[in-house]
Amino acid sequence: MKYIKKYKEQFSYLIFNLLSYNNIGDYMKVIIIDDDNIIVFLNKFNIKNIDFDSKENIEKNFRNIFLRLKHIYNLNIKGYYNINIYTDKFYGAVLEIEHEDIEYFDYFDNKVDMRVNVVSDSKFLYKIKDIFCLDKTLLNNIYLFKNDYYIELKRKISDYELGLILENSDLIYGDIVNDILKLGINLNI
């Protein structure tokens, strides 16, 4: 306890600095599948200033994301990219970034070009291993699909509650969500 008191001021300063970042890409979870495929998870605070209907706004914000990927992860970001953006009002957005090998090497030598596909208001599910690890109030929409449990958020929850869910689950998005909602068994707990 004495260590908490001793470092409380430094810890508060650190938390303040971490929370004061406003630039897109400052906080993002990144999964590098291989040299040509990257998945970027952006929470709802990261995307609050992005207008997904504006091509210019998306490209401007993606330049910042690409710069972060280049500087933090030492990725060679250049060429042509297909980007699928899945947005969810409770979580934020997931970006699937796929590098396309194109023969025009001179044109794309140090440039980035992209084709962006936005899937607005897609549903995200949270795959959990143990439904008893979460508060019962968060378990109002649970699906059982292929022996796995999935939570669907139907209402806005606190950031703390979302953190608990994310800590105990894997985020599921894309076409598989529709299969789970159609073919899964809705459990009433």
Residue 50 has what pLDDT? 86
| pLDDT-based confidence at residue 21 (cuts at 50, 70, 90) | very low
pTM over 0.85: no
Contact between residue 50 and residue 61 where contact means Cβ atoms under 8 Å apart: yes
Contact between residue 141 and residue 103 where contact means Cβ atoms under 8 Å apart: no
pLDDT surpasses 70 at 166: yes
Residue 136 CA, distance from chain mean position: 25
User: What are the pLDDT digits (tens) for 115-139?
Assistant: 889 998 889 999 998 888 887 777 7
Query: Which single residue is written with the structure tokens 């022996």?
Result: 147
pLDDT surpasses 70 at 105: no
Query: Which single residue is written with the structure tokens 């794309």?
Result: 108
